[in-house]
Amino acid sequence: MNRDRREFLRLSLGTAAFAALPPFATAQDNGVIQLTAGPSEKTLYPEGAAPSSLWTYNSMSPGPEIRVRKGERVRVRLTNNLEEPTSVHWHGIRIDNAMDGVSGLTQAPVPPGESFDYDFVVPDSGTFWYHAHNRSWNQVARGLYGPLIVEEPEAGFDRDHDLTLVIDDWRLGNDGALDLASFGSLMDWSHGGRMGNWLTVNGESLPTYALKAGEAYRLRLICAANARVFELDPARFGAKVLAYDGQALPEPVSLDYSPFLLGPAQRVDLLVVPQEDFALEEISGDEPFAFVSFKVEQGGGEAVSVPRITANAIPEPDLSNAKSIRMEMTGGAMGDLAEITYKGRRLQGEDFQTTRQVWAFNGVANLADEPLFRARRGETVVIETANETAWVHAMHTHGHHFRVIERSGATADDGKPWRDTFLVGPQQTTKIAFVADNPGKWLFHCHMLEHAAAGMNTWFEVEE
């Protein structure tokens, strides 16, 4: 992993009021949820900071929490009030391809002033999210994302015991407002991506939530950062993991290693039965940075009963009969730029500045006409990603969850959970396996959004 030490802006705060959880999106107009993308202002840093010029859904960042039940139909009308085209991707939903929201692959981007209707069924319960998928490096970093929570069919944690925590990492200037000047910096694109210097949770600076001692809570962490890999240690407050990337584990597990990494687009659902005040801390810096606190009220707690969450049914890969793909990840700062082809042309010299393509998968930067591979429907696919760069990456498959079946140099055995986004460290090789059961054209890209824009973006096709 990239071990550079990170420091966040620091400030002293007075006693903050308790944060309230944001409201759910309610369906209006015959069950259609209205999502309007447009500019709005929001203060991201406490006490007297300048407001930031954001792009948001329904004037809030995160956008409204869309909460539905497993198997339900979701209808969303996206209206674009931005100055550039956009689309919405439903991250981690094993969705019908036409609704996947990828501008340039599954739909044309929606021009300013126009709208698009999304209509799909959610097959899995769990913690998911939605975000812009056109010029994502720009649109997501300005605030275009929100949580999408799919409830289990059976009764789970009730509203008071089920907290969604959308974590973002912002780059703020000295006035405390979003730094706009550095958007698109080639330095960021070729290094670790757009790294921020301030964290928010549900759009708030250093919020505090009130919990009751001895009761069981589900904390749904969603990493909406463009590039930051959070280093956390949930074991510090006795939390167990219920789910990764929306998919419940058979049993809640305790993490016996630290740091626990939460990369861009990844989610983790934690189970915590608090006894005393605690905080979620980012521990990569010289001292831990507590970015969300929990005030635990003593006494009167009900006896703990932990609702069970049932795992979704995902087809198990058949490793003895798999199609094997090897993908070498190259390029970037301190990497090899020697053989990168972009739009059929070998890049050299000045080309890297003009095309801004500096990363490649098997020597190809960004989407080529031909997919990385084609799979028959129902075929098991094993993808071996060899990270030959000096940077960590967060690889995401659209339309499918996979099991991470092998990781070179890994010390922790996390039991090969289902995921939709995996981290691969510098010089690390990782193998994932999944059944290609969802027909269509699907992206496979780095979710460090600057890396994706600068070349770490490919696609595969599952035949009808």
339: amino acid identity, one letter: E
Q: What is the size of the binding site for ligand C2O (CB under 6 A)?
A: 10
- With CB under 6 A as the contact rule, the residue among 265, 347, 386, 435 that binds ligand C2O is 265
In terms of C-beta density within 10 A (0-12 exposed, 13-18 middle, 19 or more buried), how is residue 350 classed? exposed
From the list ligand C2O, Cu ion, none, pick the one residue 393 interacts with, judged by a Cβ distance below 5 to 8 Å according to partner type: Cu ion
Residues in the chain, how many?
Answer: 464
**Spatial contact of 428 and 404, defined as CB atoms under 8 Å apart:** no
Give the pairing of strands 429-436 and 402-407: antiparallel
Binding mask 268-307 for ligand C2O (x = CB under 6 A): ----------------------------------------
C-alpha angle 249-250-252 in degrees, rounded to nearest 5: 65
Nearer to ligand C2O, 352 or 361 (CB): 361
List CB contacts of 454: < 8 A, sequence separation 6 or more.
Answer: 189, 190, 356, 357, 358, 359, 365
**Spatial contact of 223 and 263, defined as CB atoms under 8 Å apart:** yes
Cα(279)–Cα(380) distance, integer angstroms: 41
Report the first-to-last Cα separation within the chain, whole angstroms: 39
From the list Cu ion, ligand C2O, none, pick the one residue 396 interacts with, judged by a Cβ distance below 5 to 8 Å according to partner type: ligand C2O
Q: Which run of H or E residues covers position 397?
A: strand 393-397
Cα(458)–Cα(447) distance, integer angstroms: 12
Nearer to ligand C2O, 208 or 397 (CB): 397
Minimum CB distance to Cu ion, residue 420 (Å):
16
Cα(443)–Cα(461) distance, integer angstroms: 9
Nearer to ligand C2O, 211 or 261 (CB): 261
Nearer to Cu ion, 94 or 451 (CB): 451
Minimum CB distance to ligand C2O, residue 394 (Å):
10
Nearer to ligand C2O, 91 or 393 (CB): 91
Residue 443 near ligand C2O by CB under 6 A: yes
Q: Which run of H or E residues covers position 375?
A: strand 373-375
Minimum CB distance to ligand C2O, residue 319 (Å):
26
**Spatial contact of 260 and 270, defined as CB atoms under 8 Å apart:** no
Residue 131 near ligand C2O by CB under 6 A: yes
Task: Kindly indicate which of the ranges 164-172, 248-256, 311-319, 442-450 contains the residues binding ligand C2O, using the contact rule CB under 6 A.
Answer: 442-450
Cα(170)–Cα(164) distance, integer angstroms: 19
From the list Cu ion, ligand C2O, none, pick the one residue 222 interacts with, judged by a Cβ distance below 5 to 8 Å according to partner type: none
From the list ligand C2O, Cu ion, none, pick the one residue 218 interacts with, judged by a Cβ distance below 5 to 8 Å according to partner type: none
Nearer to Cu ion, 375 or 392 (CB): 392
Q: Which run of H or E residues covers position 449?
A: helix 449-453
Task: Kindly indicate which of the ranges 24-32, 77-85, 198-206, 439-447 contains the residues binding ligand C2O, using the contact rule CB under 6 A.
Answer: 439-447
Residue 228 near ligand C2O by CB under 6 A: no
**Spatial contact of 438 and 400, defined as CB atoms under 8 Å apart:** yes
- With CB under 6 A as the contact rule, the residue among 191, 407, 431, 445 that binds ligand C2O is 445
Backbone angles phi, psi at 136, to 5 degrees: -60, -35
Nearer to Cu ion, 307 or 363 (CB): 363
* Interaction site with Cu ion (CB under 5 A): 393, 446, 448, 451
Binding mask 50-89 for ligand C2O (x = CB under 6 A): ---------------------------------------x
Cα(161)–Cα(70) distance, integer angstroms: 19
- DSSP assigned state of 194: S
From the list Cu ion, ligand C2O, none, pick the one residue 433 interacts with, judged by a Cβ distance below 5 to 8 Å according to partner type: none
Contact positions vs ligand C2O (CB under 6 A)? 89, 91, 131, 133, 265, 396, 398, 443, 445, 447
